[in-house]
Chain A
Amino acid sequence: MRIGVITFPGSLDDRDAQRAVRIAGAEPVALWHGSHDLEGVDALILPGGFSYGDYLRCGAIASLSPIMTEVVDAANAGMPVLGICNGFQMLVEAHLLEGGLIRNDHGSFICRDQVLRVENASTAWTGDFAAGQEITIPLKNGEGGFIASEETLDRLEGEGRVAFRYVDVNPNGSLRDIAGITNDRGNVVGLMPHPEHAVEAGFGPDTAAAMRSGVDGLGFFTSVIRSALVEA
């Protein structure tokens, strides 16, 4: 399986996302925001960072990039798309996911190992988890507060489209503790925390077993590989 990772001006975690894809057993393909070519990839990752210095609104200018035309078409045709942090903000700005992301309610940038509950384990990116499973992956953002109208929030909850919820601590004021959501088809997933930073023992979050041994993020990438096998 070939998974494209798109680099935008100001992307920071594109290399980490490529590495996570490789560790999970797929082939990462580096894609460029200014191109109109998805190079025949089977899935897409929009990585974290600060595209265009967060000018206008986080992810807003990147969501108007040339390659986003193809990303929107591919997402609407069912291709798995994962937006991490700034990538989540881009998916929201591109209207592939609902709601919006605003500055953290406490006004500060936050960086911590965050416990999440997997609320929907049937998306293209969460199939290897169990519903209700708690995972720990790093979170680092300044504008991660998820907001939407009450009506939209009720609909997201009712349709099972809240993919992840913050556990123990709500780190940024996200409404209803929402950390990530999915579209109705389950192929597009966006979340603020960073699964690509928890894929290799020695470099992940601390666990009860050993320091930096957490690899809970790997499941995102193995999930999408398995979902492609099921479809094939």
Chain B
Amino acid sequence: MPTIVVDVMPKPELLDPQGKAVAGALSRTGHGEIAGVRQGKRFELTVEGPVTDEVKAEITKIAEEILSNSVIEDVVNIDFGDES
């Protein structure tokens, strides 16, 4: 079954306390060269049947309206798996 990957990140201008906490831990464990971390989400959606343009449009809508909240996050990538 085709798998579609949606990547969501917190908006760059907003505070990302999770990323900040991870960066703090890296710095404490001797990875001082890491200047910053931002943490996002990856969703893998498996689809029954072919990934038609209609399905792509539906998934784009789901990504923008449900998987992310446009006030605080951006959908940075949707991989429909048809590039290769």
Chain A residues in the interface with B (C-beta under 8 A): 56-57, 60, 64, 92-93, 98-100, 102-107, 145, 147-149, 173
Contacts and interface: CB of A to CB of B under 8 A. Distances in A.
B10 to A, nearest CB: 8
A99 B15 contact: no
B17 interface: yes
B14 interface: yes
A105 B69 contact: no
Contacts of A107: 17, 20-21
Contact of A104 (B17, B67, B71): B17
Interface residues of B, number: 12
Contacts of A106: 17
Nearest to B72: A100
B69 A147 contact: no
Interface string B15-27: 1011011000000
Interface in B51-69: 66-67, 69
Interface in B1-37: 10, 14-15, 17-18, 20-21
A130 to B, nearest CB: 32
Interface of B: 10, 14-15, 17-18, 20-21, 66-67, 69, 71-72
Contacts of B21: 107
A12 to B, nearest CB: 23
B64 to A, nearest CB: 13
25 contacts: A56-B66, A56-B67, A57-B69, A64-B66, A92-B71, A98-B71, A99-B71, A100-B69, A100-B71, A100-B72, A102-B10, A102-B14, A102-B15, A102-B17, A102-B72, A103-B18, A104-B17, A105-B15, A105-B17, A106-B17, A107-B17, A147-B14, A147-B71, A148-B71, A173-B15
